[in-house]
Structure 1
């Protein structure tokens, strides 16, 4: 279908048909679904009738080729103009084959594997009939109390931007029209959803426009530069106005400044939520603000279908605003090839052979192993296959290792840690006991755990959160493990057995009671379908841990937010002339996190030396080359993530103490040495000034290179304009 044909189609549509294209409804509303469109209960309360459903533009949450084809077939019969539906779903880190949660994927620092995981998710979703995924989520996160940190790749704008681009490439490929194995990406949540006050979901966000542009917007822009077809609005306010009705954010910045001409969709119910926010008196005003802000699709509320006709007929809204929104939706349907092939990639036969294939599971296993971070190891790991293992803890035999946003994932099909270890060493040297539940325990459970541990050579404690304890609406004020699990660690430790703690969680934790008790700590996150196999690979040294944290682990929740790229103060604690008391510090806690950004151990050791700069003066058009020598000084081959940071010592506004500018993953054999090179240009030193101009300042800078953000070699240079 040509662009001219779309214009003709738009002209044929009635006002009500155009408004209905802006409506997104959940699967049960539609004939052909498992509920067959029976409008009852909450659906009935929305006031949706059959005429609206027949003209609705998109569907939320349908799954499976058979169901989606049935809904589409019925809709094409009912829709007067034969306009196909768009099917959209939350495919965040896998469709049926579940990969680690995005925060874990970030800790892999492996952009190629992240892209591959998105490509596999797209293949499984597309063959099941899905057209659009509500991913990637690229919100920058600094507060582990917020449950949705598990959906982000971390606290750094540069790294988040790189992962955003990789995931968009993976989902969409190069040709959405002809590659039916891909799906359209929808970057979210625009904007700054990751900065809610108190870490409480849906809460107020309050920051300067300079901070917004400098730190929070880059990853969204990177996703759009990579071609993301859609953007989803955030629930929160931006500069006092809910994002969904925020004209400055959505139309002035997103549409006019960034030239985004794709589809803009609200999050669930967000248009109507302008009323409790206090910026809209009723649904009519909510619709007015949203359409003027440039919002195309309203998800699961009815402000548009209830009020847009009246607003247009009264002259309050120009019909051209409606037309441009409808045209964008039709253009996406055209790009996906739905007018020619409304069923696109949906294929029941391929669905059976492709989904959860061995190839997909192997990729999930590899990414889960690369995502895990070894936080501590007092010469306990790797385990030896002849050792007698006591595997104890509520996560030992649990399939709840997929994370909250694993919509189509099956806990029953997930490989548990117990299964992974048995596959690795056989059943003879493994004994298991629950020890406690996630948040409750009995004396019998504890007694069984102690007896199981007594005869073992080594104890592996499988601990963590239920998936529902993080994710959306999963905010927590206490980010320690539940007390019963801390009590279990303490009781087992009294046996004086070497003890390894394996953690399954969706956020950085306060690890007091874990890191000080266990001899080794492996952060496994929520590792996905192949989690048990991947962790067994790591525990027994078949894979050498290489993951590095992309979000800092605090000493306590009282430090939060704590992040590596923070500003200095007028009274920094580490200043040469710092007084004992009157400096920026806590009296009862260090300022630094327990484990900083970029931290992660290996079964070998890497030595950094001979940091050199090609010149001590950087100018426009004359890049600077940074060289460091890295040696594997241990006895085992391993992969190291070499990290490159800079600091601008004097700016027009205060600059961060360190900023990540690049990284390289290298593999070294024992005693092997390699030079690693980074190129630094003047453009990489630019930032938003007080007037929001994006330029650099001449002056002194420092380059840092090292294994994490804390332990680095340093050299200084001068930037000249």
Structure 2
């Protein structure tokens, strides 16, 4: 890092500084594909061309040729030769697409998660990208919200573990010298995953204690791992939109946590302070955004049009602008852009690296590990000599990448039909569309039934189109579309074995599907190698090992429903008919499928759970051990889950909290002893005064295959 950024800052005019705080989309820049579309957008935003010449970063540029062209044109006109930062949404793969993050979470495999981010960074970097807007670590409890697919689930501990893994994968150990890595940007700060009604961009309303205990840990974990950037959330936090929330951004993020990296708004979020109702106009929005600590304004021009005047009037200190500009310059310097503005960019390496066999192999492995077997009445694995009818809108469909796969190719994705055909003869694989995603005709239904009649077993490939989840993809009714439910019901009437494979970006209400299926495989959006991975799972060439990281509701009326909830003063007991307790009259309290749930082609038994002591202190620890045995006939991987409950706290404590897990591979008949260590630090939580400490008293240690099937041992914390 040769340049002195403070010296460079001193050479900049106020106009040049302000321009560094603006991020514009690719089409504003000379040298971009489609060059010539610049004038109209500039007029729409009310900014001059010199702002573009001095701007600091580009949104959505990719491809070595285009990025190099944009950077070259920019440097030819930029007075001080300050290079552009190229940023993009590389969420679950660049062109080799991995499963969506919610699916990756269900792998409980941080090594593969890290590897997927490393591969995404490599493909993106040779295509000219410097920064990815990932990982998204928002904790999620409402599957109506479309963006649950972008999170790793409902648990603070597990989200934190994955947040660290993704940051390590994107950034590596030496971001300056490893040009095959990219800077990570954790999002969305904060609590974007808790919008009222599960509706995107909506109000978030919670106590600061709950914010700190459940929603902030994963962001903090990403920053502790060295994440270079933070993106603000669209939502309010305690009544103040995040992009203008000084308490959240300056006081907590910068002062308390010590974060001195770059903070960027989400698309248009600074200007959105106006419709939120905390800014009268763009001038006030600019003032509040910068005072809150937002360094880069994405795709609106409040800063560009108003900061100079705010400084002149004395309402804003130029020192605040200098702080933001220096953070941006430091990131560019850390990435080595002053020495090499074309960092990592290579048209030759693009051909060699992108969608390589090695990358596709990892994508397939992660798709296998991410799929969750939800039901199996001795139908799976399939026999390769059986005649199979593959029916449904996803039978021959490349829409298996999911949202936030903007560089992915549906044409390059392995379809389910092709995956199965690689395993069995064409004569044994019959196919029919059966229905569209949301439509069905009598002709489709008739063809599906006639095809199914010729088969020994039916595989239904069903789900949501990718645009039905992701940003803006919120749904109040989270069942499969009625057209597909009609198809399921008609096929079930034949009385033949039915295996359903689901493609979706959220936990679904499975009524009309799970009871009508003899086996059910949750594949999520598996990515580029979808068909290959599903074929391995269906035929038993791979053993399912995924475990849910977000509960599946019995009904949308339960939402939010999550495992680490509080008890009430009137909990429901074994007598489900008792009226004056917390319950519904028409549905269970419990989710249909709990956090941590998942089946295998083998079975596991837990025995001999014990504690090394019945108490611990602040300076001691105790071990909890359990034996896990593979009681089935084939090898498999079990995810042993460890939970703790604080039985009496100053604040009501969750019924259980995940504190650790271990993945163990067991041959048939093999037993392994698994050990978890309990320390006083694991028992701390935020009290009513926001102090972070533990309480003496009784606790439960719990181990099992999921959050619902647990063996319990009691211990005491002495203080």
TM-score by length of 2: 0.99
Quote how far apart the aligned CAs of 1:575 are. Answer: 7.2
Q: Which residue of 2 aligns with 1:147?
A: 146
Q: Which residue of 2 aligns with 1:595?
A: 593
Q: Which residue of 2 aligns with 1:649?
A: 647
Q: Is the 8 A contact 2:204 2:236 kept in 1?
A: yes
Query: Would the alpha carbon gap of residues 710 and 42 (structure 1) be closer, same or farther in structure 2, given more than 3 Å must change?
Result: same
Quote how far apart the aligned CAs of 1:407 are. Answer: 1.0
Q: Which residue of 1 aligns with 2:704?
A: 706
**SS of match in other structure, 1:425:** coil
After superposition, where does 1:566-581 map in structure 2 within 5 Å?
Answer: 566-574=565-573, 580-581=578-579
Query: Would the alpha carbon gap of residues 42 and 30 (structure 1) be closer, same or farther in structure 2, given more than 3 Å must change?
Result: closer
Tell me whether 1:48 sits opposite 2:58 in the alignment: no
Quote how far apart the aligned CAs of 1:252 are. Answer: 0.2
Quote how far apart the aligned CAs of 1:38 are. Answer: 2.9
Between the aligned partners of 1:563 and 1:532, the Cα distance in structure 2 is: 31
Between the aligned partners of 2:212 and 2:24, the Cα distance in structure 1 is: 33
Q: Is the 8 A contact 2:42 2:48 kept in 1?
A: no
Q: Which residue of 2 aligns with 1:662?
A: 660
Between the aligned partners of 2:428 and 2:574, the Cα distance in structure 1 is: 54
After superposition, where does 1:104-143 map in structure 2 within 5 Å?
Answer: 104-143=103-142
Between the aligned partners of 1:216 and 1:647, the Cα distance in structure 2 is: 19
Between the aligned partners of 1:574 and 1:228, the Cα distance in structure 2 is: 45
Q: Which residue of 2 aligns with 1:611?
A: 609
C-alpha distance after superposition, 1:411-458 (max 9, x if no partner):
000000001000111322101000000000111000000010001000
Between the aligned partners of 1:555 and 1:637, the Cα distance in structure 2 is: 32
Q: Which residue of 2 aligns with 1:682?
A: 680
Q: Which residue of 1 aligns with 2:30?
A: 31
Q: Which residue of 2 aligns with 1:586?
A: 584
Between the aligned partners of 2:619 and 2:95, the Cα distance in structure 1 is: 48
Between the aligned partners of 2:220 and 2:237, the Cα distance in structure 1 is: 17
Q: Is the 8 A contact 2:28 2:41 kept in 1?
A: no
C-alpha distance after superposition, 1:459-503 (max 9, x if no partner):
000000000000000000000000110110110011110000000
Query: Would the alpha carbon gap of residues 320 and 575 (structure 1) be closer, same or farther in structure 2, given more than 3 Å must change?
Result: farther
Between the aligned partners of 1:38 and 1:241, the Cα distance in structure 2 is: 36
Between the aligned partners of 1:603 and 1:618, the Cα distance in structure 2 is: 39
Q: Is the 8 A contact 2:138 2:188 kept in 1?
A: yes
Between the aligned partners of 2:78 and 2:284, the Cα distance in structure 1 is: 29
Between the aligned partners of 1:277 and 1:98, the Cα distance in structure 2 is: 36
Q: Which residue of 1 aligns with 2:638?
A: 640
Between the aligned partners of 1:121 and 1:446, the Cα distance in structure 2 is: 41
Between the aligned partners of 1:285 and 1:409, the Cα distance in structure 2 is: 40
Quote how far apart the aligned CAs of 1:43 are. Answer: 4.3
Q: Which residue of 2 aligns with 1:457?
A: 456
Between the aligned partners of 1:587 and 1:446, the Cα distance in structure 2 is: 37
Q: Which residue of 2 aligns with 1:366?
A: 365
Between the aligned partners of 1:712 and 1:512, the Cα distance in structure 2 is: 26
**SS of match in other structure, 2:663:** strand
**SS of match in other structure, 2:427:** coil
2:629 to 628, 631, 634: 631
Q: Which residue of 1 aligns with 2:259?
A: 260
Q: Which runs of 5+ in 1 are unaligned?
A: none
After superposition, where does 1:12-411 map in structure 2 within 5 Å?
Answer: 12-411=11-410
C-alpha distance after superposition, 1:342-392 (max 9, x if no partner):
000000001011000000000000000000000000000000100000000
Q: Which residue of 1 aligns with 2:432?
A: 433
Between the aligned partners of 2:112 and 2:454, the Cα distance in structure 1 is: 41
C-alpha distance after superposition, 1:249-308 (max 9, x if no partner):
000000000000000000000000000000000000000101111110000000000000
Q: Is the 8 A contact 2:140 2:154 kept in 1?
A: yes
Between the aligned partners of 2:23 and 2:532, the Cα distance in structure 1 is: 40
Q: Which residue of 2 aligns with 1:720?
A: 718
Aligned residues: 719
Between the aligned partners of 2:365 and 2:48, the Cα distance in structure 1 is: 48
Q: Which residue of 2 aligns with 1:671?
A: 669
**SS of match in other structure, 2:422:** helix
C-alpha distance after superposition, 1:596-634 (max 9, x if no partner):
000000000000011000000011121110100000000
After superposition, where does 1:553-572 map in structure 2 within 5 Å?
Answer: 553-572=552-571
Q: Is the 8 A contact 2:47 2:305 kept in 1?
A: no
TM-score by length of 1: 0.99
C-alpha distance after superposition, 1:300-321 (max 9, x if no partner):
0000000000000111111000
Q: Which residue of 1 aligns with 2:693?
A: 695
Quote how far apart the aligned CAs of 1:8 are. Answer: 1.1
Q: Which residue of 1 aligns with 2:524?
A: 525
**SS of match in other structure, 2:426:** coil
**SS of match in other structure, 1:654:** coil
**SS of match in other structure, 1:87:** strand
**SS of match in other structure, 1:428:** helix
Between the aligned partners of 1:476 and 1:403, the Cα distance in structure 2 is: 16
Q: Which residue of 2 aligns with 1:472?
A: 471
Between the aligned partners of 1:73 and 1:42, the Cα distance in structure 2 is: 21
**SS of match in other structure, 1:255:** helix
C-alpha distance after superposition, 1:48-89 (max 9, x if no partner):
221101000000000100000000001000101000000000
**SS of match in other structure, 2:423:** helix
Between the aligned partners of 2:361 and 2:534, the Cα distance in structure 1 is: 13
Between the aligned partners of 2:360 and 2:269, the Cα distance in structure 1 is: 36
Quote how far apart the aligned CAs of 1:44 are. Answer: 2.5
Quote how far apart the aligned CAs of 1:579 are. Answer: 7.5
Quote how far apart the aligned CAs of 1:37 are. Answer: 5.0
**SS of match in other structure, 2:188:** strand
Between the aligned partners of 2:80 and 2:527, the Cα distance in structure 1 is: 43
Between the aligned partners of 2:679 and 2:171, the Cα distance in structure 1 is: 30
Q: Is the 8 A contact 2:391 2:431 kept in 1?
A: yes
Between the aligned partners of 1:579 and 1:701, the Cα distance in structure 2 is: 30
C-alpha distance after superposition, 1:565-594 (max 9, x if no partner):
000001000278x97100000000000000
C-alpha distance after superposition, 1:149-198 (max 9, x if no partner):
00000000000000000000000000111000000000000000000000
Between the aligned partners of 1:463 and 1:680, the Cα distance in structure 2 is: 43
Between the aligned partners of 1:296 and 1:623, the Cα distance in structure 2 is: 44
Quote how far apart the aligned CAs of 1:41 are. Answer: 4.0
Q: Is the 8 A contact 2:701 2:712 kept in 1?
A: yes
